[in-house]
Amino acid sequence: MALIVQKYGGSSVADTDSIKRVARRIIETKRKGNDVAVVVSAMGDTTDELIDQANEIDTQPPARELDMLMTAGERISMSLLAMAIHAQGERAHSFTGSQAGFVTDARYGAAHIRAVKPDRVINALHQGEIGIVAGFQGVNSIGDATTLGRGGSDTSAVALAVALGADVCEIYTDVDGVFTADPRIVPTAQRIPAISYDAVLEMAASGSKVLALRCVEYARRFKMPLHVRSSFSHLPGTIVVDDGVDPRTVPNIG
C-alpha cells in the first residue's frame, strides 16, 4: 500500500461533470489499497474571474483582501469534490490551506510556505477517509489567508506530499505528461517517459508551463517523485525523479 498525493488543476475540475470524473479516479486509486490525499485548484478560470471582479470594484485592491477573495475558488472545488466522492460511496474530508496546516510568510499574492503541519489530514487518512486540500493558499502568523502565486497548487501538492511522507506526488493536468515541445502546438512532439528534476527545471526556465518552477525545486530538495499525468486519460505520463533512480519504483504507474 502506498501513500499518494494527487493534484488536480483547474482544467481537470472545470465543471461538475469533470469533478465527478476526478472523484472516480481518486476512488479508483483508493480502492487499489492506497491512502490518498488530494490537492485541488479552483474550477476552470475561477481565479481570473475573481481578479476581474475585484478590478471592476477597485483597480488597486488591498492585497490582503485580494488574497481573501482568491482563496474562495479552491474552497468551492474542494467542497464539491468531497461531495462527489461521498456520492460515489467513499468518505472524504475537505480542508482549507490553513486547516491543512500550511503556514506561510506575510507576502500577500506570492507567499512562501514556511511549514506544513497536516495533523488534520493525517487524522482523516487514519480514519480511512480521503483528504481533500485547497491548493494555492495558506495562513500567515497573524491568521490571515495568503496565496502562493501562479502555480501555487503544484507547490502545495509537493509540500503536502513531503509533510505526509508520501511515496509519490501525482500532478494531473490536461496533457499526457512532459513532452519535447508543447503537443498542442507541435503535433510531432514526443512524450518523455522519465526525466530528471534538473532537466525539468531547465525546461521550466526556458518557458515550459507543465510544472511550476517552485514545485520542481521543492520536489528536488526533498527527493519527492513526481508523476505528471492527464486526468482525461490513463496513459502512463512522465515520471520525474533524481538521476539514477529507477522510475519503475514509483507506485501507481499503471
pLDDT in tens, 14-24: 999 999 999 99
**Using N-to-C axis directions, what is the helix angle for 213-222 and 197-205, rounded to 10°?**
160
pLDDT at res. 254: 64
pLDDT at res. 6: 98
Cell for 179?
Answer: 513532452
Q: What is the band of 112 on the pLDDT scale with cuts at 50, 70, 90?
A: very high
pLDDT at res. 171: 97
SS3 95: strand
Taking only the tens place, the pLDDT of each residue in 34-58 is: 999 999 999 999 999 999 999 999 9
Question: What CATH number should be reported for the domain whose range is 3-249?
Answer: 3.40.1160.10
Pairing of strands 130-134, 92-95: parallel
Q: What is the band of 181 on the pLDDT scale with cuts at 50, 70, 90?
A: confident
Torsion of CA 183, 187, 193, 198, to 10 degrees: -50
List, in sequence order, every beta strand (DSSP E) within 20-117. Answer: 35-40, 92-95, 102-104, 113-116
Q: What is the band of 204 on the pLDDT scale with cuts at 50, 70, 90?
A: confident
Q: Residue 126: which residues within 8 A CB-CB, separation 6 or more? A: none
Taking only the tens place, the pLDDT of each residue in 210-245 is: 788 899 999 999 999 999 999 999 999 999 999 888
147 vs 32: CA distance, rounded Å: 34
Look up residue 11 and give its DSSP letter: G
28 vs 88: CA distance, rounded Å: 11
Domains of the chain by residue range: 3-249
Is the pLDDT at 206 greater than 80, yes or no? no
Is the pLDDT at 208 greater than 80, yes or no? no
pLDDT at res. 252: 84
Q: What is the band of 209 on the pLDDT scale with cuts at 50, 70, 90?
A: confident
Distance of CA 139 to the CA centre of its chain: 17
192 vs 185: CA distance, rounded Å: 16
Contact (Cβ atoms closer than 8 angstroms) between residue 21 and residue 231:
yes
- Mean pLDDT rounded to a whole number for the chain: 95
pLDDT at res. 224: 97
Q: Residue 64: which residues within 8 A CB-CB, separation 6 or more? A: 108, 144
Looking at residues 160-185, what average pLDDT do you find?
92
11 vs 7: CA distance, rounded Å: 12
How many other C-beta atoms lie within 10 A of the C-beta of residue 84?
23
Report the percentage of the chain scoring pLDDT > 70. 100
